[in-house]
Each structure stands twice: as structure tokens, then as C-alpha cells.
Chains A and B, each alone.
Chain A
Amino acid sequence: MQQLLISNVYEGLIAKSSSGDYLPALATDWTVSDDALTYTFTLGDATFHDGSAVEVGDIVSSLDAARGTDSVNPDAKRIALVDTVTAVDEDTIEITLTDRDIYFLDTLGITSAGMIVADGDDTDRANTTNGTGPYTVAQWNKGSTITLERNDAYWGEAPLNKTVVLHYITEATTAMNALSTGEIDVLTAASAETLDFFESDDSVLITAGESTSWMTLGINNANPVLANADVRRAINMGIDKAGLITVIGGNAVEVGSMAVPSDPWYSDLTEINAYDPDGARELLADIAPTDLAFTLTVANNYDTKISEYIAAQLGEIGIAVAIDTVEFSTWLERAYKQKDYDLTMVLHVDPTTLSYYGNPSYYWNYDSAEAQRLASEAKSAATTDERDDKMAALAKLVAEDAASGWLYSPQTMVVASTDVSGYPVDRIANRFPVSSITAVN
């Protein structure tokens, strides 16, 4: 839902292109002070869906609400470094930070915390929307379809289409059939079977989108046995990641840490703790107790092939793995919140997940002073280059430390009819802007 509302229905002061550039949105222009603690935005002539103009007061009240102590905004933490939000004059807003935050423009542009609603707006947000974006939600059949209708009074560049209907289909086969009959035009996150089916079909186009997500083998670093980095290294060395990618049907990239090739801080780390079952057995041979047994707690929304593969691979290096499949909410409560697990498996989609290694209370229980220093220096970096250096160092550190296992980075496979173009393919797990989709004929 959030993936659809941001930038289609609601907007922030700025926006971000799919290639990662910051673009003007509600603000036409902005400047950042030399100490990177003061951001000044110039407001444009945007309007809300109800026709009223966006004023500085709306910006102040929205950001204040998101960062307030009683905020339940899911991204509230990202905006926590904001010290003051002030309306300088009727089209200038000044935001000061208590500490430098290199991700601050991202927060304003692409997270819930940066979205702007009218001051004192009493719109019933459960059933209607009053954002500033190019679309309004015309119809929402929960669990089935969402119809986005063009906002004809949109203050910016008009969308290229009038109506976009998003279908929510859980069965891969059903989605595949719907695409082949033309009931839907674009299918995101296509399964391997679907790709095989359409491989030689000229009426559809398959695109591999860049993704910033990682299928992660979460290791509980607080577990007395797993606290030993050698055990974690052995686990990483025991898993043939290339083999796993074949098992899931391809369309994934091998990674050696929590970074993907499109990240500016990426370097190839796949050689660190690479697949070497003999080396893994040697590492384990020096460690007592000799009989290692762990439980792999997995939410039931992931393919069981993956967890079974991991269990089988670790079995070969002498680690017995029992798979405990639980419902997602049980996983969230038990593994994520209470950190009551040995091994787990999660698909992380936040592009900055790497920086979580600097948070010792995150569910990995990874407590490394060096990682914390690098993550905090990256966040308060003065320039993006400096941030990228710190992040690169952090990626290498956690890889060498085997803080987690990084099984693969799935590519987003988009299958679409050749009748349409302009649909987004890159980094669509967090945002899916639809305004440039057009019919070709």
C-alpha cells in the first residue's frame, strides 16, 4: 500500500528518480548549509486534491506530526534527527538537524515520514485521500484491486494515463493467465515458472529490474555458540550460493554482503567466506561442542525450497538444522522482537539495511563497536563520497565477521505486454510510480 501511495497519491518536498537523483517536488528548490545541519526549501505552487494550495504551514504540521512523540508513522525513526521545522516566510521552510544525516533527503522524498498532508485536514483517511500527487484513489477493493484515477488538476506534469488498476493476485498461475489474456498488462515480481512460460512469447517483454533486496540468513549473534565468529564463518562457507540460485530458478545475483552492484558503496565481496565445505568442516573441528544443532525459524511466506536447501547444506558440514516454519506475525513477535531464534531467513528490502549492523539491539544481536562507528560516521558524513567509503568499509567488516549470511539478491522480474511502455522496473519494492505508463498503440 505504502509502495503505491508514495509519489502517486502523496508527495514530499522532494522526489527521487528511479536512477537515484533528487528531483524537485512540492519544493522547487533547496539548499543545504555547509555544516549539513540546515536545509532550506522554496515552496512551489502545488495544490491538494481538494483544490487548496499547499502552504508552508502544511509542511510544518506534517513533518511535526511525523516526528512528534505521539507519532505512529512507520518511518518516524528516520526523521528523529530533525531539531526544528520553521516557516521563514510564506514560501520558505527551514529545517535544522541535531546531527548530520546523509539520508535526510531520502527520508523527505521517499518515506512515509516525508509525505505532506494539509494542516488540520480532517479527511477520513481510511476511505478517502487528500494528497498532492498525480493520482487519487478512486476505488479500493481491499485484497483485490486499487484503482488510481488521474488528478486532472495536478499541479505538476500530467500523468500519461487516465486510470491505473492494480490487481492483487496471490496465485502465480492465475497472474500468469491474466497476463496472457490481457486482463493485466504488467506483472511485477514474476515467478520463475511464469518466466519460463513467457520466455518465447513475442507479445510480452521480460525485464530484470535492479533491486536492493537481500535474502538474508539471519544469525543470532547472542547465541553462545553462534557468538563465535568461526562458527558463523563456517555456516557461510557451508552454503553453495550459486547452487541455491539454481534451485530457486535463477534471476538472482550472488552477493557477499548487504550491498548490491547498484549501490554506490558496492564492491565484490563474494570471495569472503566463499563456498568451501572442507574449510568449514576444519573450522568446526576446532570448536566444542562437536555436535552443533540449530533451529532455523522461517516465516511461511518464503519458498520452503530455500530453507530445506540451507538445512541440507549445513547438514553436510555437520550442523544439524531443524526447520521451524511459523506464520509471519509469529515470526515478527518471536524472532524479530524477542530475538528468540538461532538462525532465520528474511528478505530485507530497505536499501540502507547495511547500516542496521550499527544497531546492536537489532534482531541479529550483532554488537561490534567498529560496525557502530562506521554506521554512525556514514550517517553523519558530510559528502556522499565519504558516506560511500564508510558504507563500503562496513560491508567488508560484516562480511569478514560473517555477521549474517547473504544468500542472494533477487532481481525484480517484470513481465509486461508489449502494448504498454513506461512502467517502472528498478527498485519497485519500495515505490511504484505509475504516471509514465502508456499504451503503445
Chain B
Amino acid sequence: MAAPLLCVAATDAAPAARSRAQRLAVAVAQQVGVLVASLLAASLLIFLALHYLPGDAAAILAGPEATAAQVALLEQRLGLDRPVAVQYLDWVFGALRLDLGDSMLDGRSVASQIGEKLQVTVPLCVAALLISVLVALPLGMIAGARHRTWYGHLIGALTQLGVALPVFAVGLALVTVVAVKWRVLPVQGFPPDRWADPAGAIHSLILPTITLAIPLTAGLVRFVRSATIDIVADEWVRTARAQGWSIPSVLMRQGLRNAALPLVAIVGLELAGLLMGSVLIEQVFALPGIGQMLLKDVGNRDIVSVQGTLLALTSVIMIVTIALNIVYTLIDPRLRGSK
């Protein structure tokens, strides 16, 4: 009699397990579907916005002394005389094969240019993000758990300052002291050979990374601090304290997991801001990153280059957002169960 019972139990458990995996798969498939639809919408928006932007790429390329016939000839060579729909479809199908076309100005492949520039921007943003999370977590928790002490107040005040200071000023101040006075790090630029010179590349990125990380860290500290203050006032913390746990150990063991979810959400939101910030940083430090490239291409009306770069950036942000959504589902049992 025992065996059939076990059998029943097994058949009972199997569909439950499968349906949970299925539910996860459905959730992922839904997210991917949203991603594809959003990317298509974004590509159409980018294309149309740039298409109707005043200014003519062919005219700029031909130079101020060009004749109308020359401009028309260039338009034809660049494929700008084709119907708008054809131009759009051609671009989107190319993008699916990771071919974003060639720059209108210098004929170089846009995809490979983006690849080169990302070698500067991605390490810059990732390093700034890592530093700020690693610094903000302990600092914010201390400031929150001990928010009535003098150092709690000090941290609070410093973060106010960090958020308010313009990136530009911070960067220039750092350069003046570290690069011009002490001469330990370069003022500007990036090695011509990029990562073939790893030491040089890292040296070039230290000051920009710190500059970018400061306002980000300040913002995160404030967030972690207020989250910690909330947690410390929670009933379960009181219970834990009654059981003899100290506040730091409660926070380390339980608080971190409770704060992780909103933190991941905030970091995801910061990503777009980080890319925006990097445009400014790249300008101050003359770094050949994606932000600088975009600024220059917009000025030159190198539409092929601009639309390719915008699409790539949009895709990165969307993919990261979707990935974070999936991560939430994994770390938060409530989200997992609700479906």
C-alpha cells in the first residue's frame, strides 16, 4: 500500500514543478516579446525623428562650396533619395544582422565604431557603478543605523553635497589636484591603441570613473540610508533585537536581502542616467567614448552613425532592464508566486 501512495505523491509533485518552470518560461517569453516590440517601436521613432531633423547630411558632406548637382549626387550615393520606407526597412534588416551601415562622413562601419567607443564607455560606467554600490552599501547602512550620531549626520550632509555638485566642477577639481599638481594621472585622453595598453587605459579611466561615481554614490547612500532607517524601525527587527541580535548583525543577515530588491531597481534606473553623465565626462576628459561620438555625429548630421548609436544604446538599456526584471522574479519569492 505504501508504494502506490508514493506514486500518487510523485505524480502530484511533478505537474506542480513543471508548471512553476513553465510559468517562469512564460514570464521570460513575455518579457522578450515586450523587448522586441519596444525595440521595433524605438527604431521607428529614432529613424523618423532623425529623418525629419533639419539639416542635410549630403550638404554638410559636400562642403559649403559644393554645387547643387554635387549635393544631389552625394544624396544618391548615400541612398538618401530613396523612399523613406525603403530606407527604414533597409536599415532595420541590416541592424538585425548587426550591420548598422557605414558612416556618411568617413565611410567607416558604424557597428565597428560603436564597438571601439564602447571599449571606453562600458568600463567607465561599469566601474563607476561598482564603486558606488560597494561604497554606498556600507556607508548608507552605517548612516541609517546610526543616523542620530555625529557621523550619521556628517554622511547625510556629505551626500547632499555630492548630489548637488556639478559633475563638471568635480572633474576639473580632481584634474587640477591629481593630474596637474601631483602629475600621477593623465589630464585627458585615452591611449591610441586602447586596451592594447592596459595600464595606460586604466590610468586614463581612473579620474573619469571617480568623477562619475561621486554623484551616483551620494544618491545611492541617501537611498540605502533611508531604507535602513525604515528597516530598523520595522517590527521584525525589534523582535530580532529582543532575541539578543545586535543591529549590525540584523542588518547584515536580513536587512541586505530586504533592501536588495529596491536597490536593484534603483541601479537599473541609474543606468540611463549613467550613460547621460558619461557624455559630459567624456567631454571634460577628452575620452573617445560613445557619448562624445554621438555629440559629434549629431553636429555633423551623420545620420547613419547617429541612428545606429541610438539604437545600440536603447537596446543595451532595454536588455538590461528586462534582465533586471527577470532577476527580480528570481530573487523575490512574492513576484514568483504571484503569477
Contact = CB atoms under 8 A, between A and B. Distances in A.
User: Are both chains from one complex?
Assistant: yes
Interface of A: 1, 69-72, 74-78, 125-127, 139, 141-145, 147, 165, 167-171, 173-175, 177-178, 180-181, 183, 327-330, 332-334, 336-337
Contacts of A75: 63, 65
Interface of B: 54-56, 59-67, 69-70, 73-74, 77, 102-103, 106-108, 113, 116, 172, 175-176, 179-180, 183, 186-190, 192-194, 283-288, 292-293, 296, 298-301
27 contacts: A72-B70, A75-B65, A76-B67, A126-B106, A141-B116, A141-B192, A142-B293, A143-B293, A144-B190, A145-B192, A169-B286, A174-B188, A174-B286, A177-B175, A177-B187, A177-B188, A178-B187, A178-B189, A181-B180, A181-B183, A327-B299, A329-B54, A330-B54, A332-B55, A332-B56, A333-B59, A334-B54
Nearest to A331: B55
B192 A165 contact: yes
A177 B62 contact: no
Contacts of B64: 332, 336
Contacts of B73: 70, 72
Contacts of B69: 69
Contact of A183 (B106, B107, B187, B288): B187
Nearest to B107: A126
A180 B180 contact: yes
Given A75-B65, A177-B179, A177-B180, A142 B106 contact: yes
Given A72-B77, A141-B192, A327-B299, A332 B59 contact: yes
Given A171-B284, A329-B60, 4 more contacts: A70-B73, A77-B66, A142-B108, A142-B293
Nearest to A71: B70
B286 A144 contact: yes
A72 B107 CA distance: 14
Residue in A139, A183, A329 with the greatest tally of chain B CB atoms within 10 Å: A329
Of the listed residues A1, A69, A141, the one surrounded by the most CB atoms of chain B closer than 10 A to its CB is A141
A74 B190 contact: no
Contacts of B113: 142
B187 A145 contact: no
A125 B77 contact: no
Contacts of A145: 189, 192, 288
A64 to B, nearest CB: 16
B123 to A, nearest CB: 15
Given A143-B296, A167-B286, A328-B299, A181 B59 contact: no
A72 B61 CA distance: 9
A77 B189 contact: no
B300 to A, nearest CB: 7
B192 A177 contact: no
